[in-house]
Amino acid sequence: MSSPLMSSDVVVVGAGIVGASVAYHAARAGAAVTLVDAGRPGGGVTANSFAWVGSFGVLNSPPAGPAATGLRATATDEYRRLEAELPGLPITWSGSLSWRAGESAPDVQPGQEIVDAATAAALEPNLRQPPDWAVWVAGDAAVDPVGVTERLIAGAREHGAKVQLDTPVSAVRRDAEGRTVGVDTAAGPLAGATVVLAAGVATAALAAPLGVRVPVEPSPATLFRFRAPAALVRTLVNTQDFDLRQVADDQLIAAADSPDQTLAAIRSTFRGADDVELLSTHVGQRPMPTDGEPIIGPATETPGLYIAVMHAAIALAPTTGHLIAQELLHGTIEPALTACRPSRF
């Protein structure tokens, strides 16, 4: 048998935004961490995310359960903490503006306000026809999701974490008593007393041979990239047609269904959009727990194994990574995670 490549307290499988956040927070709290990924940082669905951090507009799609909603309520505060800890974190505090034509204004939550057409026009000067009402959330943000993942990994390395990329994990290793002792990889075994599975849609297949059921389904969603004039869109705009935001002087991204309908909706919503053109289409498979709630916690069948998979993970990663590190290192039971346990299935 070949000797272990490295030996760690914690092996984190998956360097998407979830695994990167777990690795950063665990390393920062003093754990010896190895982060391992089959590919590059954020190269899974994280790369194709719209990456809205905050209240998710007027309507949540798909609707989140109470545990996810509670965790999401802390998302912007937790990103502000992370921004202070990790200088250069690529986050834009643009606020979000949401409306639905033909509907009446909803009840708003703390941090949200209903604004009139004049205020909507001031926030988005290129609107052809400002809506009668819109929900304005000044504290909402968007991130460069791969940039945040890379910054978390750099932060983890600064705290001593080892990072092994382009290294697929084939199995979780156990000792004779059934405790995790690491993982098998394409480059050989990796030892670790605790193994965190943060492999997104692949988590279920890695856990299944251990008799651990992780009911997460791949849920497709499409991200379009458009060439566009500078400053066409100022905030993060959410309507029945799209989630839309400017990501560079000459580019917009949209989470939406059809490229033609989205292009037509952009042109009919904004003045000066006649030359907007489609650059690319990417379909990402979102890891979607079947009951909509995060699946976070120890797998009771296999001591040492910990599961971390959730939807809207761009928003949730700072909060959950921090709480998971507390549980792994200090043995605490974090109340915000108790409704998320894998054992509920």
Ligand X SMILES: Cc1cc2nc3c(=O)[nH]c(=O)nc-3n(C[C@H](O)[C@H](O)[C@H](O)COP(=O)(O)OP(=O)(O)OC[C@H]3O[C@@H](n4cnc5c(N)ncnc54)[C@H](O)[C@@H]3O)c2cc1C
Footprint of ligand X (CB under 6 A):
13-19, 36-39, 43-46, 48-52, 168-169, 198-200, 202, 206, 221-223, 255, 284, 286-287, 309, 311-315
Give phi and psi for 219, each to the nearest 5.
-120, 110
Query: Are 47 and 146 within 8 A, CB to CB?
Result: yes
Considering the complex, state which of residue 21 and residue 269 has its C-beta at the smaller distance from ligand X: 21
Nearest distance from residue 283's CB to ligand X, in Å?
Answer: 7
Nearest distance from residue 286's CB to ligand X, in Å?
Answer: 5
Question: Residues 321, 326, 332, 334: is their CA dihedral positive or negative?
Answer: negative
Nearest distance from residue 51's CB to ligand X, in Å?
Answer: 5
Instruction: Report the side by side order of strands in the sheet with 236-238.
Output: 113-116, 133-137, 96-98, 236-238, 243-248, 251-255, 216-227, 277-289
Q: Roughly what angle, to the nearest 10 degrees, separates helices 145-158 and 17-28?
A: 20
| Residues β-bridged to residue 12 | 35, 196
Considering the complex, state which of residue 92 and residue 119 has its C-beta at the smaller distance from ligand X: 92
Considering the complex, state which of residue 38 and residue 305 has its C-beta at the smaller distance from ligand X: 38
Considering the complex, state which of residue 57 and residue 130 has its C-beta at the smaller distance from ligand X: 57
Considering the complex, state which of residue 68 and residue 127 has its C-beta at the smaller distance from ligand X: 68
Considering the complex, state which of residue 116 and residue 257 has its C-beta at the smaller distance from ligand X: 257
Nearest distance from residue 287's CB to ligand X, in Å?
Answer: 5
Nearest distance from residue 206's CB to ligand X, in Å?
Answer: 6
Nearest distance from residue 257's CB to ligand X, in Å?
Answer: 10
Nearest distance from residue 140's CB to ligand X, in Å?
Answer: 10
340/333 Cα distance (integer angstroms)? 12
36/13 Cα distance (integer angstroms)? 5
Considering the complex, state which of residue 120 and residue 146 has its C-beta at the smaller distance from ligand X: 146
Write the secondary structure of 162-215 as one string of H (helix), E (strand) and C (coil).
Answer: EEECCCCEEEEEECCCCCEEEEEECCEEEEEEEEEECCHHHHHHHHHHHCCCCC
Please report, for the chain, how many H helices and E strands are present, in that order.
8, 19
Give phi and psi for 150, each to the nearest 5.
-65, -35
| Residue least distant from ligand X (Cβ) | 16
Nearest distance from residue 95's CB to ligand X, in Å?
Answer: 14
Considering the complex, state which of residue 18 and residue 324 has its C-beta at the smaller distance from ligand X: 18
